[in-house]
Structure 1
Amino acid sequence: MQKRKQTIGLLVFLVIVWGINWPLSKIALTYAPPLLFAGIRTVIAGIILVIAALPKRKQLNFRQLWPVYLVSAFLSIVFYYGFQTIGLQYVPSGLFSAIVFLQPVLLGIFAWIWLGERMYGLKIAGLVIGFLGVASLSLGGLTGSISPVGVLLALASALSWALATVYTKRNAARVDMLWMTAMQIMIGGVILLAAGSASESWADITWSPPFIVNTLFIAVFVIALGWMVYFKLINEGEAGKVGSFTFLIPLISIGSSVVLLHEQITMNLVIGMLLIVSSIILVNVRLGRAAGRIVQPPVPGLGKE
C-alpha cells in the first residue's frame, strides 16, 4: 500500500511538472534563442544531478559505460529537447505537447519489433487510433494554419523519446540509474550549449526575472527531478502506469497554455486529443504484466556498444 501511494505521488508530480513545462518553455523562448535556452536549462539540471550522484561515484564506471551515456544523451536530451525547443517556435505549445505524447503508442510498436511483445487486437486498434489522432491534430498543416515543420519536429521529439526509453530500459541492469540520468543530461546539455553557442548569439538572451525563474524551474523540477522520477518508475517496472498516465500531461499542457498564453482550443485539437487518449488507453490495457518484463529481452541493434 505504501509503495502504491509513493508511485501515485510520483506520477502526480511528473504529470503536473511535465504538463506546465510546455507553456513555460514557450514563454522562455521569447527571451532566448532555442538551442541556448535548451542548453542552459539542461546543463543546470545536469550539474544538480552530478552533485546528487557524487556519493555513488564508484558506480559511475565512465571508462566502460561512456558509450551508453553518450547514446542516451543524444536520444533523451539532444534530439528530444533540441527538436522540442525549436519546434515550439512554430506551433502552439498545447498542440505540440499533444503530438509528442504519441510516444506511448510508438513505444508499443518498438516493444513489438525489438522486445518481442505480442501484437494483439486492442493494441493494433490503439496504434491505428493514435496515428489518426496525430493526423487530426496535423490537419492545420495542410491548410496553412499550422506549420508542417512544427508538426514534424513534434513527431521527431516523440520518436526520440520512445527510442530513449527502450534504450534506457535495455541498459538498466548495467548502469546506476542516478548516474545514467545525470550523465545523459549533463552530456546532452553540454552538446546543446555548444551547438547554441556556435549557431546563436548569447547577446540575444534577455536575462529578465521571468526568464531566470522559468529556466530555473524547468531545470530543477522538469528536467532534474522529472527525469529521475520517470526513469525510477520505468526501472521499477511501472512502465504501464507511466504510459497510462501520460495522457494527462498534454491535457494539463493545453489547459495551462490556454490560461498562460491564451491559446485557442480548436475542434481538431479536441478530436485529436480524444483519439490519442483512447489510443494510449488501448495500447496499455494489457501492458500491466508485460511492462514489468519489457526490460528483460535483448534489443537487437540497441545497447550493444
Structure 2
Amino acid sequence: MAVSWRTVAAFAALVLIWGSAFSFIKVGLDYSPPVLFAGVRTLVGGFVLVAAASVWGGAPELKRTWPMLLVSALFNVILFIGLQTFAVEYLTSGLAAVLVYLQPILVGVMAWLWLAEPLSVPKVAGLLLGFAGVVAISAGSLNGGFSFAGILVGVLAALAWAAGTVYFKRVQARVSMLWFVAGSFMTGGVVLLLAGLAVEPWSGIEWTGAFLFSLFHTGVLGCSVAWMLWLWLVRAGEASRVSAYAFFVPLVSVILGALFLNEPVELSLLLGAACIVTGIYLVNRRPAKG
C-alpha cells in the first residue's frame, strides 16, 4: 500500500478513535444493558452511514450485493460488535484488549489461506512481536476480572473481526463501499437491537449526558467514521499488513489514559511500544530485490 499523507491521516484518526473506544464503551455500559447498547450505537452509526451514502455513495445496488452485505453484517457487526461489548463488560479493559487484538494474527493466517497473501517469516515474527507488545502494555490491568465465558467471548470477537475483514477484502471490488458498510451496520444494528429488546428492558437505558456522549463517540465516530476508514485502508493494501497497524490501538489507549486520566506510565509501556513498532515494521517491510 502506497503511503501518502491521506493514508497516514486515516491511520492516525482511526487509531485515536478506537484507542479511546474501550473507555467510552465502559461509560455506555454503566447506563445501558450490553446488547441494547450494542444495537443502539450500531444503528446510530448506520444512520450516519446511510446519510453519507445517499449523498456520495451512488447507486446502492442492494439487489445484487445483499448476500455479501448479510455476511459482512454477521461478522463485522452482529458478532464482532456484540461480542466485543460483552468482553468489555465482563473482563478488565486490559484483558479485553489483549483478546480482541489477536485479530491481526488471525487476519495474517486467514489472508494467507483465502487471499493468497504471503506469510513470510518476518511477517509472522512481526505479528507475534506486535501481539507481545499488546500483552506488555496491558499487563498492569490483567489482574482480576477473569472468567472462562468472558475469555471465550473475547477470542470469538477477534475471530469475527478477522473473518469480516478478510471477507470484505475478498469482495470489495464488487461492492459500493459506502452502501456496503451502511447496509452492514443497519442490518446488524436492527438484529442487535431486536435481540436486546428480547432479553433486556428498554427502561434499563439511562439517557444521561454521559450516556449520550458515549453513544456519539462509539456510534458516530467508533462505528461510522472509524469503520469507513478501516475498510478504506483494507481496500487499499494487503489485509494482513493493514491489520498489523491495529496493534497501535491498545498502545494509544494506554497513552491517552496516562495523559488525561493520570494513569501511571510503567516500563512495560515502553517495552510494549518498542515491540509494537518493531512488529509493524517487520510485517510491512518489503523484501530486498535481487
TM-score bin (small chain): 0.7 to 0.9
**Structure 1 match to 2:104:** 104
**Structure 2 match to 1:220:** 220
Residues 131-183 of structure 1 deviation map (CA, whole Å, 9 limit, x = unaligned): 7678889999x996633333322222221111111111111111001111111
* Within-5 A mapping of 1:1-305: 4-55=4-55, 59-129=59-129, 146-237=146-237, 239=239, 242-257=242-257, 279-286=279-286
Instruction: State the aligned residue count.
Output: 287
* Cα distance, 1:7–1:135 mapped onto 2, change above 3 Å: closer
* Cα distance, 1:269–1:135 mapped onto 2, change above 3 Å: same
Residues 193-247 of structure 1 deviation map (CA, whole Å, 9 limit, x = unaligned): 1111111111111111100111012211111111111111222237576334322
* Cα distance, 1:120–1:42 mapped onto 2, change above 3 Å: same
The CA distance in 2 between the partners of 1:277 and 1:148, in whole Å, is: 31
1:105–1:126 contact (8 Å) kept in structure 2? no
Q: What's the C-alpha RMSD, in Å, of the aligned pairs?
A: 3.3
The CA distance in 1 between the partners of 2:256 and 2:267, in whole Å, is: 18
The CA distance in 2 between the partners of 1:100 and 1:9, in whole Å, is: 24
What displacement does 1:55 show? 3.7
* Cα distance, 1:118–1:57 mapped onto 2, change above 3 Å: closer
Using the TM superposition, name which of 215-224 and 187-196 deviates more.
215-224
Using the TM superposition, name which of 202-211 and 115-124 deviates more.
115-124
1:73–1:187 contact (8 Å) kept in structure 2? yes
What displacement does 1:22 show? 0.8
Please report the TM-score for the alignment, with normalisation by the length of structure 1. Answer: 0.80
Question: Unpaired segments of 5 or more residues in structure 1?
Answer: 289-305
Provide the secondary structure at the position in 2 that maps to 1:247: helix
The CA distance in 1 between the partners of 2:129 and 2:71, in whole Å, is: 31
Question: Unpaired segments of 5 or more residues in structure 2?
Answer: none
The CA distance in 2 between the partners of 1:170 and 1:103, in whole Å, is: 17
Provide the secondary structure at the position in 1 that maps to 2:4: helix
What displacement does 1:53 show? 1.1
Letter in 2 for 1:79: L
The CA distance in 1 between the partners of 2:21 and 2:50, in whole Å, is: 22
Provide the secondary structure at the position in 2 that maps to 1:59: coil
2:94–2:138 contact (8 Å) kept in structure 1? no
